[in-house]
A and B are shown apart, each in its own frame.
Chain A
Amino acid sequence: MWKKFHRGEVHDSLRDLVPAMARHLLGRAPKPTQLQAGDFWALREINFQVKGGEALGIIGPNGAGKSTMLKLLTKILRPTRGSCSVRGRVGALIEVAAGFHPDLTGMENIYLQGSIMGMRSSEIAKKIDEIVEFAGVGAFIDTPVKRYSSGMHARLGFSVAAHLDPDVLLIDEVLSVGDMAFQEKCIERMKLFKRKGVAIAFVSHNMQAVAELCDTGVFLSGEVLALGPVQEAIGTYVRSASRQVAAPRGAAIDIVKADLLDERMEPAVTVSPGAELTLRVTYCVQKTIMNYQLVFVLYRSTDGLKVYDGNLRSEEIGLDGLAPGETFTVDFRFSVHLVRGQYHVGSYIYHNPTLSQISYLVPAGLFTVQETRTYGGGVADVNLTCGDIVRTPPRSG
């Protein structure tokens, strides 16, 4: 499907309509499926299908068209070209608290929001205790929602939607407001939906949540840039998002290039836990300096978590006071004690006397860890094995 939008102002007063109509009558009006000045494709050539029991993660930068896509699916917007269809009862969490009336109490709003989303009032009445319980706003349920905090607002909204019993669930970045415990609860709820055979489309900037919930992922930026298994899509997105940033040339020491290599000294792409990797960084000295550190930082790409931050001191490895023009290469060896996911390393040079970063290259290398041993993911691979087992038979007597 395709969707066209217009940048800037559209004529929205009768005064502006008259010239527009005159143009129309003279046959100079452009065809609706073509682009004219100021128009752009918010989405072009999007094709995908999600079946019951599957979850599709939609990721991409701001303005990529993620919300537009969900709005097309909910029929709030209509595609300019092509078509999209959703079979069954749709639960859309575009903005969970959209239907709330500020002057009504939490309880009244549950009924209002529920009916807007297509629940019968008998159905709501049956689930009302569950909804209040899930939202965790029990003490304030008879308070007007205008007095709620934004977190409580979102919790109540999500809670109503979570009890909707849909066939298709469309979720647009609704978890960001809730606290950690609530986010966890929401993810669990969505997993439950998935097990029940609900088709889910999930828009989020929380890559960990996407990776946890979804099977397939689509990386969107006006058009589909990647569509496939969720880790691959996230990987592509992370790679494109973490564009290499390097300090401008002319620092005391430049980072010329960096390669990430595996045990056989070939470029590392996908590795297993326990692998030994080498980050080979080439530096070029511009100015003689003393007392600096070559910093090595390991990040989890999906959420930017700093997994490891260590350094080599110049005086310890004998690199103090090198002459300008000299080039040197350092191998950073490290072992991958990590669970599955996307990771990248960054290389920095830190100058101790001036307390400043004089050069950096991020990401200096990217890699994917693959394993199937852990159940819910995590960060570190602690190499769990089965130790001694002591069994005590039940005492007979």
Chain B
Amino acid sequence: MGFGWAIFMPALIIVAGLLIKLAMANVAGKSLHPSDISSLMVKALPWSFFVGAIGFAAGSLLSNIALVTKVYLPREVFPVAATVAQAFDTSISAVVLAIALPFLGVTLSWSLLWVPVLVILLFLFTTGVGLFLSCANLFFRDVKYIVQVLLTFGIFFTPVLFDASMVGPTASGLLMLNPLSPFLEGLRLCVVERHNLLEPLMVAGSHGHVLVWTPWYLAYGLVCSLGGLLASALMFHRLEFVFAEYI
């Protein structure tokens, strides 16, 4: 399938999300809005990147046992390479996405300048998680099962198929604690809603006003990605010497 593979996974998530959105719209007695579709697409892509990268990175050290035990090279290469490879795949589908979005009513705006910032932060965060999990999986073989379960059900605890604000004020705040939420919600807001991420955003819902965005979310995402990467890189570096012994 070649490049088709790169688009397959996000496309599947988008179709699944559309079905759910359609069901929700029917129940509420509303019709599906183009911005629903575009926001779904904007969030499905980074999510599929995260899932794919983590899936490969977590097992990357174990699947290269021969190299880890027989050749000395910086072992960071394995999880980081998995993340970079996934980023490459994602960039292909991002091109497709960029072509599709204008047809769904997305227009150019200054807020789009936030996209590279969020993408870089998401990449760094994913790299950090990948480093941590590959290392953990080397010492504890049952980590991979936990990762599998988390990645399968993580989509329900991450605002991918729905927006965080849809679950009401309290649950929304909790949902935003998921380190991925600020990136996904941020991307949706700056691309689809043309919102400047330095400004807070409130919407009126059926249960009162819901805080959709505050700059603190951005700060939280920044801390998670940089702090996470730094901490896991340090841990990885400290444990690297015993990899060959424990693997």
Kindly identify, within residues 139 to 194 of chain B, every residue whose CB is under 8 Å from any CB belonging to chain A.
139-143, 146
DSSP class of A's interface residues: helix, strand, loop or mixed? loop
Query: Which residue of the partner chain B has the closest CB to A172?
Result: B70
Separation of A84 and B19 alpha carbons in the complex (Å): 62
Interface size on A, residues (CB 8 A): 22
Q: Which of A12, A13, A14, A116 contacts B73 (CB 8 A)?
A: A116
* Contact A12/B71 with A78-B241, A98-B66 known, Cβ cut-off 8 Å: no
Chain B residue contacts of A15, Cβ below 8 A: 142
Q: Determine which of A10, A13, A76, A95 lies in contact with B72 in the assembled complex, contact meaning CB atoms within 8 Å.
A: A76
Q: Any chain A CB within 8 A of the CB of B110?
A: no
Answer yes or no: B245 CB below 8 A from chain A CBs. yes
If A13-B141, A14-B143, A17-B140 touch, whether A77 touches B241 (CB-CB below 8 Å) is: yes
* A12:B139 contact, CB within 8 angstroms: yes
Which chain A residues border B245 with CB–CB below 8 Å? 5, 77
Beta-carbon contacts under 8 Å, B61-87 to A: 66-73
- Contact mask A213-228 → B, CB, 8 Å, 1/0? 0000000000000000
Contacts of B68 in A (CB 8 A): 76
In the bound complex, do residue B71 and residue A76 qualify as a contact, i.e. CB atoms below 8 Å apart?
Answer: yes
CA distance A132 to B70 in the complex (A): 23
Residues of A within 8 A of B70 (CB): 76, 94-95, 98
CB contact under 8 A between A78 and B242, given known A13-B140, A15-B142, A17-B140: yes
Q: Which residues of B contact A98 (CB under 8 A)?
A: 66-67, 70-71
In the complex, the chain B residue whose C-beta lies closest to that of A71 is B244
The answer to whether B67 touches A99, judged by C-beta atoms less than 8 angstroms apart, is yes
> Is A117 an interface residue, CB under 8 A from the partner?
yes
B142, A14: Cβ atoms under 8 Å? Answer: yes
Q: From residue B136, how far is it (CB to closest CB) to chain A in Å?
A: 9
* Residue from B71, B142, B143 in contact with A94 in the complex, judged by beta carbons closer than 8 Å: B71
Chain B residue at smallest Cβ distance from A12: B141
With A10-B246, A12-B141, A94-B71 known, 18 other A-B pairs at CB within 8 A are: A12-B139, A12-B246, A14-B140, A71-B69, A74-B71, A76-B69, A76-B70, A76-B72, A77-B245, A78-B241, A92-B71, A92-B72, A95-B66, A98-B66, A98-B70, A116-B67, A116-B71, A116-B73
Residues of B within 8 A of A (CB): 66-73, 139-143, 146, 241-242, 244-246
